[in-house]
Amino acid sequence: MAEFSKTEQDYLKAIYQLHEKTGGLVGVTDIAAYLKVAAPSATEMIKRLAKKDLVAQKKYYGVSLKPEGYHEARFILKSHRVWETFLVDQADYQIDEVHEEAERLEHSSSKRLVERLYALMNFPKTDPHGSEIPAERFWEGKVVTLDLSQAEIAHRYQVVALTSEIKDFLAYLTIEQPKFITVITILADDSVIVKTEDDVKFVIPQFQRTAWQLTYYAH
């Protein structure tokens, strides 16, 4: 997979967003205005992107993204929006504080990091501004499915499905259904002490373990 410079990514994202706004080919002067650069430098950069087969240029008409450029533009957009979501939801940023941070983070984040954050936040559909987060995956980790009897100590798992029996058990313990659990200890009788994302610890009896359907991301 090709590596892209920050400038290349900014151009690809600009072309993508200008196309979204107006449809059709995107004018070089519009790209220059959008990125606040002089028209000749935009012309120069477009030439370079065309040489790399990332964009197609039709003289006097404008520019469009080729498949690889389109793919990278969508990734940068996803990176930006995943970071904004993360900063607001997980790091207590205010919505009006996140754009500048995301502008920097979007370029320095690997596809793996962005997809892992995206999965960690349970695949959010939109960012805090309401813009759609591209749902396609840019890095394919493998999702492994297992039950609690196969889980390992100190690992964190996503809870996929719970039987009504387990739901009743949790209600009886007055514990909210966890999205994630971490295995703390496996006791001598094979019951398991787990911790939820809210730091609530409880014991799951041996006979209940296979009823806990879990997943995790393998790398």
What's the min distance (Å) between Cβ of 55 and Zn ion? 23
How far is residue 15's CA from residue 46's CA, in Å, rounded to a whole number? 10
Dihedral angle at the C-alpha atoms of 109, 112, 117, 123, nearest 10 degrees?
120
Interacting stretch for Zn ion, rule CB under 5 A, among 54-62, 97-105, 146-154, 211-219?
Answer: 97-105
CA dist., res. 2 & res. 19, Å (int): 23
Residues in 21-40 at the binding interface with Zn ion, rule: CB under 5 A: none
State which residue, 99 or 112, has the beta carbon closest to Zn ion.
99
User: Shortest Cβ distance from residue 57 to Zn ion (Å)?
Assistant: 28
Is 112 near Zn ion (CB under 5 A)? Answer: no
Lookup: tokens for 193:
């002490």
Query: Which C-beta is closer to Zn ion: that of 65 or that of 87?
Result: 87
The Cα 78–Cα 127 span in angstroms is: 9
Quick check: 26 and 64 in contact, CB under 8 A?
A: yes
CA-nearest of 155, 154, 145 to 210 is 145
User: Which residues, including other chains, have CB under 8 Å from residue 87's CB and lie 6 or more apart?
Assistant: 93, 97, 98, 101, 102
Q: How far is the CB of 157 from Zn ion (least distance, A)?
A: 32
Cβ-based nearer residue to Zn ion, 75 or 157: 75
CB 17 to Zn ion: min, Å: 11
User: Which stretch in 96-104, 136-144, 158-166, 185-193 sits in contact with Zn ion by CB under 5 A?
Assistant: 96-104
Q: Cβ 19 to Zn ion, closest distance in Å?
A: 18
Identify each DSSP E strand in 80-167 by its residue range: 142-147, 156-161
Instruction: Check binding of 99 to Zn ion (CB under 5 A).
Output: yes
Q: Does 111 bind Zn ion (CB under 5 A)?
A: no
Report yes or no: 63 and 28 within 8 Å, Cβ to Cβ.
yes
Instruction: Return d(Cα 203, Cα 201) in angstroms, integer.
Output: 7
Which residue's CB is nearer to Zn ion, number 56 or number 88?
88
Name the residue nearer to Zn ion (CB basis): 76 or 102.
102
* Closest distance to Zn ion from the beta carbon of 1 (Å): 25
Under the rule (CB under 5 A), what is the footprint of Zn ion?
99, 102
